[in-house]
Structure 1
Amino acid sequence: MARVGAELRRQDFVKATVKVIAEHGVANATTRRIAAAAGCPLASLHYVFRTKDELLYAVYESLFSLPQQSLDQVPAGTTASETAAGMLRQVVNWFSTNPDLARAQSELFIWAMRNRPEMASKIYSVSTEATEHALERAVGEQLDETALKAISRLLIQLFDGLLVAWSAHGDLERLHAETETACRALALLVEQH
């Protein structure tokens, strides 16, 4: 029987954890359930991840990079407001086509706020910084640093709010309508800067 390397096993556990969180929530994502979902012995999980927190942070890092990659694919609009709105549409498109990943990411962040505030703070800082960089790359020098920070934070807040609303109502058509309303609000903020 061939041995599986630690990095491959790590990826298996991260994928299994996403699946378990999406199905059962973070509170019910036991290491035993995660190991079973990965088809691996529990001892393997504890060999690859020393603590459950280490595993959860690895999951968040893997989930965080996915919507951020979609931000990098937004073509620059003719104005900063069009570009920012395009970024929001792109992220909403990502989570509507990857609902389990998006729900797991949201669930994990809410869990971290309650149980590991330092992890939640780190996660928020990293996501804010990454969003600022993506926006800056897309709009160039059209916005100053203060505007970049404000707009990036609003992008994250709109994304989170739209995800929570869509998770509750599940109506894709309504999600798109609400996204367009959010894009208009975002465009107004950008135009003020």
Structure 2
Amino acid sequence: MPRISAAQRRSDFIKAAVEVIATYGIEGATTRRIAEQAQANLAMLHYCYDSKEDLFADVYEFVAGRYRDALENNDSPGDVAETARRLLRGVMECYLESASFTMAAMELISWARRQHGDRGIEVYDKALETVRTALRDAGSDQPIEPEIVEEIAFVIAALADGFAANWLTYGDRSAALGQMELATSVLDSWLAARLGSTPVAPSQR
């Protein structure tokens, strides 16, 4: 049997931690449960991580990376409205792909906010900055005002979070698919109204 590298073991423990956090919450995510989920012994987990908080820090980075990937994988050329639409759908599809990831992400953000103050906000900040960058790039031919970029980013986050809460509450995939379309149509309607009279940035006047 080929030897499993420490890097692969850490990856296994991160994925296992996501599943355990989703099922038992942060407080119930013991190292023993995580090791069992990863089909590894507890000694191996402690070999890879000095403490549970070190493991959770990597899980936190994993969550932030999943948000980033969901947003950056939707970077096809398009105007601001089309870009915003793709960004929203990218996050909702990420949530729909794994209820465990969605639950663990919400748990971890709340935990990090309680335990580490500003670090609990960082995952949101990173995701929002990716959204802002994509929107600014989409509007490069006729940049929109920074405050409008902020508004669009907020609306995307609000709609995605609402979708996540409903998906976690009911777990109805068929209903969630319909709600994705509904959330997208709400964004489309708001963008049509908001961008119809959006002023261009000062540098373009």
TM-score calculated relative to the size of structure 1 = 0.83
Closer, same or farther: CA 50–118 of 1 in aligned 2, 3 Å? farther
Residue matched to 1:172: 176
**Distance (whole Å) between structure 1 residues aligned to residue 82 and residue 34 of structure 2:** 42
User: How many equivalent pairs are there?
Assistant: 192
**Distance (whole Å) between structure 1 residues aligned to residue 83 and residue 123 of structure 2:** 24
Task: Tell me, yes or no, if the aligned pair for 2:83 and 2:134 is still in contact at 8 Å.
Answer: no
Residue matched to 1:71: 71
Closer, same or farther: CA 163–24 of 1 in aligned 2, 3 Å? same
Closer, same or farther: CA 58–143 of 1 in aligned 2, 3 Å? farther
Residue matched to 2:127: 127
Closer, same or farther: CA 92–191 of 1 in aligned 2, 3 Å? farther
Deviation at 1:29, TM superposition (A): 0.8
Task: Tell me, yes or no, if the aligned pair for 1:21 and 1:107 is still in contact at 8 Å.
Answer: yes
Closer, same or farther: CA 133–114 of 1 in aligned 2, 3 Å? same
Residue matched to 2:99: 99
Deviation at 1:48, TM superposition (A): 1.9
Residue matched to 1:61: 61
TM-score calculated relative to the size of structure 2 = 0.79
Structure 1's unaligned 5+ residue stretches are none
Q: How large is the Cα RMSD of the aligned pairs?
A: 2.5
Structure 2's unaligned 5+ residue stretches are 199-205
**Distance (whole Å) between structure 2 residues aligned to residue 88 and residue 94 of structure 1:** 10
Identity of aligned residues (%): 29
Q: Describe the SS at the equivalent of 1:26.
A: helix
2:8 is aligned with 1:29 = no
Question: Bigger radius of gyration, 1 or 2?
Answer: 2
Deviation at 1:132, TM superposition (A): 1.9
Deviation at 1:86, TM superposition (A): 2.4
Closer, same or farther: CA 48–133 of 1 in aligned 2, 3 Å? farther
Deviation at 1:49, TM superposition (A): 2.1
**Distance (whole Å) between structure 1 residues aligned to residue 186 and residue 130 of structure 2:** 20
Deviates more, 1:174-183 or 1:32-41: 174-183
